[in-house]
Amino acid sequence: MTRRDLLRVIGLSAGGAAMYQAMSSLGLAAESPYKGTPKLQGAPHGASVLILGAGLAGMVAAYELRQAGYRVQLLEYNPRPGGRNWTLRGGDTYTEMGGYTQHCRFDRGLYFNPGPWRIPYHHRGLLDYCKKLGVPLEPFVQINHNAYLHGAKAFGGKPQRYRAINADYRGHVAELLAKATQQGKLDAQVSKDDQAQLLESLRGWGALDDKYAYAKGPDVSNRRGYDKPPGGGLSARPIDSQPLQLHDVLDSRLWRSLTEGEIYEFQTTLFQPVGGMGRIGEAFGRELKGLIHYNAKVTAIQQDERGVTASYVDARHPGAVRQARADWCICTIPLSILSQIPINVGAPMAAAIGAVPYAATVKVGLQFKRRFWEEDEDIYGGLTATDLPINTISYPSNDFNSRGKGVLLGAYIWGLDAYEFTAMSPDERIRRAVEYGSQIHPQYKTEFDNGVAVAWHRSPFTMGCFASWSEALRAKHYDNLCQIDRRIALAGEHVSYLPAWQEGAVTSALDAVERLHQRVMAGVAG
């Protein structure tokens, strides 16, 4: 059972609050602590900070420290800002570990986000920086009742509309509870007055008829859809659809995906930057122009009583070793990479750096000759969930009803399936994604144009998607990872209770710069 499946089971059996508590203990969900940027005042004249990594954590730290008067420089492995805040567009090239190079051939204006792709409404820190940097946002559609739920062995492999499974599951559950209530089986738990109100609410919640049955009729069709929708003229009369039997709904196990939109991080409204998630990193890069040294592969980090020195080489053509030095250092390099770099920190931090594994994920972006999901199936945004290895298909939440080609997320692969796909060549990953996706959308076979596939364990700048904390690892290592070790502080999504989310990177950076500034000022005062 995957962690995602476990959380779904918890949510279905014990409710959303229990599922959120489980997610919090695993470090998968937490309320953002963002209350505004820290007030950094009185930085000593000439005080300097070296920041390693120009992902969101590094650039947030640089932005705030520069505002406070520090001299700041950043070393970044990639030839671009943003780190995992990254968008692939036509003309871009990406080379993964192992030497495979992909040339993105998407049409102009189309894109794919290999990393983060949505922003929850309560990630206030990231939203605030989007506002400050002038990055326009648009809604991201998470739940679309007209998208699909699919099981390879359910209903003969035929995908079912989300709205139908949702309506039928709720309707049958409502009918069962109504029967139990009417038969007096809840008398010990629910008062008579409450039973009457419960029955009334179940009728509305489950679309039950006047006998509290979930049965074919206009109210049910208005939830799950019609066999023939209402229209105008002589052919206007609708034809109601027949609900699925409870056994068939339960046996399909498609109900496992019904809670996806109720998870705290996925509740509406969600956002995406217009033109791709990478617009945020690009905006930060423009703001910090001249401070970021690109194509800088850090090879060693050493600190002494006067400052910190980072050794680095040209990431494209490693040769002569160069050095950058400052009074202080904020390191945002992912632990999967940092654990392989010599760094003279104390034993507690060193143990923490080497202890945290990174999740394996693969994302595949597919361009099609037309937006068939809209033209043929009336799916505008949202996600289709499947038990096939591709796991998720996400339809674009922009350029609705437009002509021409379109790009969708053809796979978001987790766990053992991700390891299997990582071992494949990019072309094979794409071929498999098209093959699996055609079981849901037969149009794949004739409409597919081209694609790109990013396996995060083959990413040379992360070697994994995000920090995969367990409760035991957090108890043993998290606080040690957060401590400032003499002149070195760490920041990034891995130093947060929001791993995998950009808000974790933002809030960890703000926490690090505030504590670092306090240490600097304490030294000045001393």
Angle between helices 502-525 and 56-68 (to 10 degrees): 30
H helices of 183-309, in order, are 192-206, 218-224, 246-252, 278-287
The whole-angstrom separation of Cα 224 and Cα 164 is: 4
Mean pLDDT of 351-365: 97
Contact 241, 228 (CB under 8 A): no
Kindly report the backbone phi and psi dihedral angles of residue 272, in degrees, each rounded to the nearest multiple of 5, phi listed first.
Answer: -145, 145
Nearest one of 29, 75, 40, 15 to 513, comparing CA atoms = 40
Split at pLDDT 50, 70, 90, the class of 14 is very low
Q: At residue 205, does pLDDT exceed 70?
A: yes
> What's the burial of 90, exposed, middle or buried (CB within 10 Å: 0-12/13-18/19+)?
middle
The whole-angstrom separation of Cα 147 and Cα 220 is: 18
Which pLDDT tens digit goes with each residue over 228-265? 999 999 999 999 999 999 999 999 999 999 998 999 99
Side-chain-facing half-sphere of 67: CA atoms under 13 Å: 14
H or E stretch at 84? none
Which pLDDT tens digit goes with each residue over 80-96? 999 999 999 999 999 99
Quick check: bond before 269 cis, omega within 30? Answer: yes
In the numeric block, the tokens 């609900």 are attached to: 243
- Residue 76 identity: E
Q: At residue 17, does pLDDT exceed 50?
A: no
CA dihedral 2, 8, 164, 448 (to 10 degrees): -30
Split at pLDDT 50, 70, 90, the class of 31 is low
Split at pLDDT 50, 70, 90, the class of 524 is low
CB atoms within 10 A of CB 173: 17
Domain 162-252, CATH:
1.20.1440.240
Contact 379, 405 (CB under 8 A): no
Domain 88-146+269-276+359-458, CATH:
3.90.660.10
User: pLDDT value at position 526?
Assistant: 42
The whole-angstrom separation of Cα 32 and Cα 496 is: 10
Mean pLDDT of 75-79: 98
The domain locations on the chain are: 31-84+278-356+470-525, 88-146+269-276+359-458, 162-252
User: pLDDT value at position 399?
Assistant: 97
Q: At residue 491, does pLDDT exceed 60?
A: yes
User: pLDDT value at position 523?
Assistant: 86
pTM, full prediction: 0.93
Nearest one of 500, 498, 493, 495 to 478, comparing CA atoms = 495
Mean pLDDT of 352-358: 98
Mean pLDDT of the chain: 94
User: pLDDT value at position 10?
Assistant: 47
Q: At residue 12, does pLDDT exceed 50?
A: no
Angle between helices 162-182 and 192-206 (to 10 degrees): 160
CATH architecture of 31-84+278-356+470-525: 3-Layer(bba) Sandwich (3.50)
